[in-house]
Amino acid sequence: MTAATAPAASSGRAAGQPDEAERRDSVRSGVAGLIGAATSGLFGFLLAVVITRGYGPAGSGVFFAAIGVITVATAVCTLGAETGLLWALPRRRSAAGRGDAARVLPVALLPPFLVAAMVALAGLLAADSLAPRVFGPAAGPELLAVSFAAVPVVVLLTLLLAALRCVRPIRAYVSVQFFLLPVARPALVGVAVLVGGGLVAGVSAWLVPAALALLVCLALVAGPLRIGRGAGLRPGRRDWSTFWRFALPRAVSAAIDAGNLWIGVLLTSALAGAEEAGVFGAVGRYVLAGQLAVQGLRVTVSPRLSRLLGAGRTALAAAVHRQLTTWGLVLSWPVYLLLAVFGVGFLELFGPGFTAGTTAMTVLALAMLAQTGVGNVQSLLLMGGRSGLHLTATLGGLLVTVSLGLVLIPGHGATGAAMAWAAGILTENLTAVTCAWLVVRHPLVDGAMVRAAVITVAVVGGAAAVGVLVGGRGMPGLLAAVAVLAVGAAGALPRIRPGIQASLRQIRGRESATAGLPDQKDR
């Protein structure tokens, strides 16, 4: 322990470390994030089943394309302010007090809302001419008009969710993002299907929970920032320049990050038809579901990374990143390995028309092993204020995805779209991890990560081999592999539980075991 931290040690805990009550709260928050991610994944899969079974390959392709329009337009219109809030609010609250932090909200919300309103108006006016190009003959302009009209609401929801992550315990964010939205959507879309509603009714049902979640977020954010109770909401000129100097370079990369899958869906719909887009969208739902465990961990740590990197404590930030990556790998690699081997079994759940996406599933699952293996290096860049480097990585990935997609999709449909996206994933993540290492200058990989990767591949690979031998690559083989893994996990849990609990505390930065890392700024 350094001399700088010795006085704190004499008082009972290291400088900057919380008391026991806060430590217990952080563990509960980490567990809440993981439970929320599991719930979101379950109901997200249920939503995909409702859409694919209710509307078929062609209809689900149009449905996914409508979601793509909303998602991509929202990501563009946020102008990078979502990450700007995650970067600015923790710093502002710790440096200047909660009342002062509220001044960030007008800066972050007003420009994106105005842009979203203009995009929505332009989309409504151009719906007649754009709909045939986006959806083909399977849907009319009404669906596109509904999609564009929802953009301002979804933009505000996205930004308020980011603020919620910073001003409330993580359980509040999890309740809205991982429970309210994913639970309500399959229920309402299912009702639309049961009553015979068409695509417009189905997409409208998908949007209703966003409006409800927006109202909930408004109520939850107002209290901690003392809005309506004396907080200043008039930003200064420096507030605008500081915030948007960080956020604007993020605008393009945010659109790419949020729209990677949906850009592929829209390209496939335009170049290969709605049915191929439906297959690719169904495959993509599985691929994104595999990231939910990592997301559940990441939402608990991004504000902490912002504080650490803002204070120059890069060694501790790198340690948090390595721990997060190790557990993200352990949680997500089994999913992707099973998706790669048993793609037929997974896709059979959507109906016989979707098993044509088996090869696409395998290609993307293998690519996602690489993405989760390098960890959330994007957060290191963004929370460290290096939006430009992140933009470089995401633009490189997008260029590869779109270029290869234009070549491969017309002849290979969903498989071509998957190959293009996989190449983009590899390009973006290899670029990002290189840039992150140059910024942090501390190791982003350690022996624990390598051991976890080897053990995970060996264990899941062995279970998958048993499943293939017993029941092939369809549903019987998948169930056999899952049963083998379940038995093994039940036997190993008592031995690994202490390590899991310690790692959750370290991920949240609340564990005094990090005392081996310097508490002052890292040089």
How far is residue 199's CA from residue 278's CA, in Å, rounded to a whole number? 13
Q: Which stretch of DSSP H or E encloses residue 431? A: helix 387-440
Confidence of residue 510 (pLDDT cuts 50, 70, 90): very low
How far is residue 390's CA from residue 514's CA, in Å, rounded to a whole number? 28
Which residues, including other chains, have CB under 8 Å from residue 222's CB and lie 6 or more apart?
228
pLDDT at 517: 38
* Mean pLDDT computed over 404-419: 93
How far is residue 484's CA from residue 469's CA, in Å, rounded to a whole number? 13
Answer whether residue 191 shows pLDDT above 80: yes
Let me know how long the chain is.
523
Of residues 311 and 462, more confidently modeled = 462
pLDDT at 369: 92
Q: Phi first, then psi: what are they for 19, rounded to 5°?
A: -80, 180
Residue 406 exposure: Cα atoms within 13 Å on the Cβ side: 5
pLDDT at 26: 45
Which residues, including other chains, have CB under 8 Å from residue 504's CB and lie 6 or more apart?
27, 30, 31
CA angle in degrees (0–180, nearest 5) for 72-362-44: 45
Whole-structure pTM value: 0.73
Q: What's the Cα-to-Cα distance from 273 to each of 63, 132, 185, 213, 377, rounded to whole Å?
A: 13, 11, 26, 33, 35
pLDDT digits (tens, 9 = 90+) for 107-120: 899 999 999 999 99
How far is residue 418's CA from residue 424's CA, in Å, rounded to a whole number? 10
pLDDT digits (tens, 9 = 90+) for 324-357: 788 788 888 999 999 999 999 999 888 878 889 9
Q: Residue 485 in 3-state DSSP?
A: helix
* Mean pLDDT computed over 146-163: 94
Domain positions in the chain are: 30-269, 273-446
Determine if residue 139 is left, alpha or beta; phi over 0 gives left, psi from -120 to 50 gives alpha, anything else beta.
beta
Answer whether residue 6 shows pLDDT above 60: no
Which DSSP string corresponds to 452-482?
HHHHHHHHHHHHHHHHHHHHTTSHHHHHHHH
Averaged pLDDT of the chain: 80
Answer whether residue 99 shows pLDDT above 50: no
Max intra-chain CA distance, the chain: 73
Are 450 and 301 within 8 A, CB to CB? no
pLDDT digits (tens, 9 = 90+) for 379-410: 777 666 676 787 888 888 889 999 999 999 99
* Mean pLDDT computed over 419-433: 92
Percent of the chain with pLDDT over 70: 77
How far is residue 410's CA from residue 414's CA, in Å, rounded to a whole number? 9
How far is residue 243's CA from residue 385's CA, in Å, rounded to a whole number? 11
Percent of the chain with pLDDT over 90: 31
